[in-house]
A and B are shown apart, each in its own frame.
Chain A
Amino acid sequence: MVPLEWYIGLSTIIFMVGVVGFMIRRNLIIMLVCVELMLNAVNISLVAFSHYLQDLRGQVFVFFIITVAAAEAAIGLAILVTLVRNKGAVHTDEITDMKG
């Protein structure tokens, strides 16, 4: 039997890979993919908790996370298409209109 801690460790590794990818990449598409990566890492730990604590709420939460991930991907890609159409840029360091 695989201990629960291994699943938490795996989920942590994938989540941090997603965080690092979000920070280091210049391409907006890959940054959106990294958000999906982080959501999936959280899903793994939720399903693992649900199995090891014998409670189904973890799995129900994963459904809602998948719903929100789908909505986020749709909106994010729509923003991306608009950005490319108006500015012709998919790189974060070329989009500096708001001087943030």
Chain B
Amino acid sequence: MLPVIFFIYFAIATTTLSILVITRKNPIHSVLFMLALFFHIAALYLFLNAEFLAAVQVILYAGAILVLFLFVITMLNLKMEVFTEPFIGEWPLSVSIGVSILLLIFLSIRDFLKGPLGPYTIDVIQQETNTKIVGKVLYTEYLFPFEIASIILLIAIVGAMVLAKKKN
């Protein structure tokens, strides 16, 4: 019973926070609500026995990516932003399209069929701890994608510097 109550709290909180993110006029408020949302999502990961991912969510998303957003917003000087119209003119159409796709997916969730179960039961994970077992899978089975991820990050660093550099 207790997990259900917790899940309902987190479901309501994440939904409300995500709606607040897209409706606030001030971008700083949006990003701060996003911060609260990321902490709630990290708590959901803890429910799902992904302790390392919960830590990564807080450190990387809340600590790095959102701070980057906040830096850019404070640098850009968006004083007039609160006085302008935040939505495009055709927003009721977009909202109705979104709600209808949502209903469509909800109707199809009922017919979801589970695939075969994998070897990593909760007992196996508890014996070896979550972080160790995730590391084992990441560095053996997914070693090549892991190396490609480093190239993606390198390209992002170089691209960001090239784009943001002033032409002289």
Contact = CB atoms under 8 A, between A and B. Distances in A.
B48 to A, nearest CB: 4
Interface string B150-168: 0011011101110110100
A89 to B, nearest CB: 11
Interface residues of A, number: 70
Nearest to A67: B149
Interface extent on B, as a size class? 35 or more
B114 A63 contact: no
B56 A51 contact: no
B53 A59 contact: yes
Contact of A66 (B60, B87, B160): B60
Contact of A60 (B22, B94, B142, B155): B142
A29 B27 contact: yes
15 contacts: A5-B112, A6-B11, A8-B112, A17-B21, A23-B94, A25-B86, A30-B30, A37-B21, A37-B37, A53-B117, A54-B117, A57-B118, A59-B134, A60-B142, A67-B152
